[in-house]
Structure 1
Amino acid sequence: MAGMTLLLVSTLLLSVPQSRQFHVVKEYKMWAEAQQYCREKFTDLATIDGMSENEVVKSLMHDAGVDLAWIGLKRGSRNKWQWSLADGDFYSQNEEFRNWASGQPVGQCVDQRLGGIWYANECSKIMPFICYDAANSTHVLLTERKNWADAQRYCRENHTDLTSVRNQAENDQIKKVRGSVLSAWVGLFSDAWEWSGGSNSSFRHWTTGEPNYGKADAWCTAITSSGQWNDEACVFSRNFICYDVAKTTIPTTTTTITTTTSRSPSTYSTRRVSTSESMSPTTDADASSSSSEPVSSTLHSLSTDRQSLGTNGTTSSATTNHTTPSHNHTTAAVKRQMVRVEVQTDSQVNMEDPAMLQAFLQQIQQRLRERGMPADAKLTWMRQPDGKVFQEKNDEK
């Protein structure tokens, strides 16, 4: 016997590649002056999201003959916890698992101990550590004792990064990998450094012993010719790295497509799915006016934006008209937007079943790609604070 009909809502995260271009500016300025210059001529002082971008900037500096240059990282006033692995797609929205011991945290770098409990220590302490290897999605225990920064460097050079712990299941898995080792570093750390462009990137690549905070009122970050970073007084004059991003606009609109889901991923019944970039509820008027036309126009815009990019997601031009000597290079960046999803379903269908979610996601992705969504755009479910993907929508009459 069929159950009652429910209207469920959820949110997808749409990630669309963009082109980010770095510029080495061979002009000496204090950090604040360099920031102002970059904001006027480009987008901002450079944000560096990972080792691949760091290597690009290092190569540009070598080509330009620059040994030291400001980037957009400046010390702020308030510490925050973040993971060493700076990959936004690796973490779900509102995903902030912590497993602190009583009285913790009291330090800045985190290790896991017996029982899977976490402690925050001084980062200079030496102990074994656990790396994450993205190639095969495994956690690797290294029994060689290192401080947190050296452990991070080893993991990045030989695996992917220090391990991240996103949920209880992963915490239990890492506890099993640690075995009889009493404590081991993981990738969680706390610092007050902030990117000028507003990025939440947790990527850091400090030289050994840095940051060491000498005598100064404000501290900013410079990248060296080796690609490693130093903290320096912001009043020093340095060359600097700017970046700009090609603007990719995805119109806010309500679209309606027909997809298929059911209690079993292998058998389907027809459902209507409404998607909107707005987080506000979709109105009946919106839904009734939606047709194949809004879908086509929205996805056509996506396709048009994609045509302005090269085949690998980077712009084909790297020129500048500025008179200041500048060396530049383009790398891939990602624009993320939220897409609202509404599903009308039978109450007996478990929409939280992982196989159901995956099958449903694949169908939405396939239908959108058929209508022009870029092949390298990525859709992922965002979880609610209670850990669920869907929640029941209460219609207000």
Structure 2
Amino acid sequence: MVFFFLVLFGFLSFTSSQMSHQYHFINIRKNWTEAQRFCRENYTDLATVNNAVEMNSLFKTISDVSYDVYIGLYRSEVFRWHWSLPDGYNVETFQNWKDKQPDINNNEGCAVMDNNGKWFNDSCDSQRQFICFDATANQKYILIEVNKSWREAQEHCRTFHTDLANARDASENRNVKNTLKNKDVWIGLFKDAWSWSDQSNSSFRFWNSSQLSNIRRDQDCVSVMVNQTGKWKDVQCNTTQPFICFSELKSQSTTKPATPAATTTENRPAQNTTDGGNTSSQPTQILTTGPEQDNLILVHENLTWTEAVSYCRKHHVDLVSIHSEELQNRVARRAIHASTSHVWLGVRYTCTFIFWFWIENREAGCYQNWASGHGPRGYEECRLSGAMESTGGHRWVGRPESERLNFICYTCADIK
């Protein structure tokens, strides 16, 4: 059964160096949100899958069980373009759309290349010829002169070659254009609203064929179907089932056993509780030990917003989200000890839907404390994230997410 993955995805050798996750099967039934919290507290996060090699490794951990398990993929509010070839390429690095393309009203499109090498989006169910990419062959680009839907074309290319052809820079775009024989063909660019719990940009998808026509929008979380050789399906997030966590391979020597015993405190990662407990290799963390704030940690390390998210999720639970005045006051009392003028919060701006949202629960919050000219009624632009003033009124402001600031994590105790 494991060999199935190695045959289905002809690029095993092409992606073997991309194995970065170690997976842990947790045989406890939880809903998706509870499973996410468990994984963040005890490992790194709910499982992310970057490529076929990692999917093969994940499936090994559950091949002896007979029920479906959660992974970290969920339906978000933001639709994004991805390259089919799962190598982490940034879609924004190179684009070659036709005028007035892509159609922003088409939220679930797939990309077509015309005979001029320009792109346009179309329904993924349309029937078209397509171009495959083969990383191991002398002829890297192969025109398949059979009409298929985009998903069918992707599966064909992954079965017999490497993947649908990507056009991630001008050189690749020319290579695809020179192969298409004046036809409009599918390329490996698709748009969806599925995101990973750890906020990585993995474009790897392994849907069961029945999912291609599933139009329900109340099933926002993803399960691996053990009886379908590991294919994925969407389910309601309040379903309770076992799940898969992951940890980074670089921490393999200290990885905790993947058993229910991981819920005990002695199996959780050690956390510094005072400045005096800090070591030279760790950022300074300030954790109040009183009952009021024993789950808020100020980290005296200047990181970008994305780096701060990763740090909090690796060492604690997440960047702090603020949904009440009481929590605002608690976070403010942490912020006054920061060494930067602002501290990162777990709120970010989406250009696609033009609103601010808290990353912990992936929705906009009701309680707000924005400074004048910031937030929903202020100046907004792409790649803004939210920060709190360290002094003064402790208002929230939008800052470029590349800026380096202290930040506040929260840990295991519930935030109310």
Sort the TM-score into its range (normalised by shorter chain): 0.5 to 0.7
Q: 2: CA distance between counterparts of 1:112 and 1:94? A: 15
- Aligned residue number for residue 237 of structure 2: 234
Deviation of 1:321 after TM superposition, in Å, equals: 7.0
Over residues 19-58 of structure 1, what are the superposed CA-to-partner deviations in whole Å (9 max), with x where a residue is unaligned? 5210111221111111111111211100000111112222
- Aligned residue number for residue 358 of structure 1: none
Rg larger in structure: 1
Kept in 1, the 8 Å contact 2:24–2:258? The answer is: no
Deviation of 1:66 after TM superposition, in Å, equals: 3.5
Kept in 1, the 8 Å contact 2:48–2:198? The answer is: yes
- Aligned residue number for residue 202 of structure 2: 201
Deviation of 1:185 after TM superposition, in Å, equals: 0.6
Kept in 2, the 8 Å contact 1:66–1:239? The answer is: no
Structure 1 residue ranges (4+ consecutive) displaced by more than 4 angstroms after TM superposition: 16-19, 211-218, 315-319
- Aligned residue number for residue 31 of structure 1: 32
- Aligned residue number for residue 87 of structure 1: 87
Over residues 92-121 of structure 1, what are the superposed CA-to-partner deviations in whole Å (9 max), with x where a residue is unaligned? x78622221222212410111121121100
1:323 paired to 2:260: yes
Over residues 63-95 of structure 1, what are the superposed CA-to-partner deviations in whole Å (9 max), with x where a residue is unaligned? 3x143111000111011111011113xx4x786
- Aligned residue number for residue 386 of structure 2: none
The alignment partner of 2:260 has SS state of: coil
For 1:323, give the aligned amino acid: P
Question: Any stretches of 5+ residues in structure 2 without a counterpart?
Answer: 1-16, 264-416
- Aligned residue number for residue 72 of structure 1: 72
Deviation of 1:172 after TM superposition, in Å, equals: 1.9
Q: 2: CA distance between counterparts of 1:134 and 1:165? A: 14
Kept in 1, the 8 Å contact 2:132–2:165? The answer is: yes
Distance 1:204 1:17, change over 3 A: closer
Distance 1:212 1:220, change over 3 A: farther
Distance 1:48 1:17, change over 3 A: closer
1:97 aligned to 68, 72, 94, which one? 94
Alignment map for 1:239-388 (pairs within 5 Å): 239-247=242-250, 315=252, 320=257, 322-323=259-260
Kept in 1, the 8 Å contact 2:25–2:259? The answer is: no
Deviation of 1:163 after TM superposition, in Å, equals: 1.0
For 1:169, give the aligned amino acid: S
Q: 2: CA distance between counterparts of 1:216 and 1:154? A: 28
For 1:186, give the aligned amino acid: I
Q: 1: CA distance between counterparts of 2:42 and 2:141? A: 43
Distance 1:143 1:243, change over 3 A: same
Q: 2: CA distance between counterparts of 1:147 and 1:68? A: 28
Over residues 179-228 of structure 1, what are the superposed CA-to-partner deviations in whole Å (9 max), with x where a residue is unaligned? 14x21110011111110012111111111142555555450111112121
The alignment partner of 2:63 has SS state of: helix
Q: 2: CA distance between counterparts of 1:202 and 1:94? A: 11
For 2:257, give the aligned amino acid: T
TM-score (norm 2): 0.53
Deviation of 1:169 after TM superposition, in Å, equals: 2.7
Q: 2: CA distance between counterparts of 1:141 and 1:21? A: 37
Larger relative contact order, structure 1 or 2 (CA cutoff 8 Å, min sep 6)? 1
Q: 1: CA distance between counterparts of 2:42 and 2:125? A: 40
Identical aligned pairs, as a percentage?
36
The alignment partner of 2:124 has SS state of: coil
Q: 2: CA distance between counterparts of 1:87 and 1:128? A: 24
The alignment partner of 2:61 has SS state of: helix
For 1:141, give the aligned amino acid: L
Kept in 2, the 8 Å contact 1:216–1:233? The answer is: no
Q: 2: CA distance between counterparts of 1:122 and 1:102? A: 18
For 1:189, give the aligned amino acid: F
Over residues 141-187 of structure 1, what are the superposed CA-to-partner deviations in whole Å (9 max), with x where a residue is unaligned? 1111111111111111111111110222322221111114x211100
The alignment partner of 2:151 has SS state of: helix
Q: 1: CA distance between counterparts of 2:258 and 2:149? A: 46
Question: Any stretches of 5+ residues in structure 1 without a counterpart?
Answer: 1-15, 249-314, 327-397
For 1:112, give the aligned amino acid: M
For 2:71, give the aligned amino acid: I
The alignment partner of 2:201 has SS state of: coil
Deviation of 1:130 after TM superposition, in Å, equals: 0.8
Q: 2: CA distance between counterparts of 1:197 and 1:187? A: 24
Q: 2: CA distance between counterparts of 1:215 and 1:231? A: 9
Kept in 2, the 8 Å contact 1:128–1:185? The answer is: yes
The alignment partner of 2:69 has SS state of: strand
Deviation of 1:136 after TM superposition, in Å, equals: 3.7
Q: 1: CA distance between counterparts of 2:232 and 2:146? A: 25
- Aligned residue number for residue 181 of structure 2: 179
The alignment partner of 1:177 has SS state of: coil
- Aligned residue number for residue 345 of structure 1: none
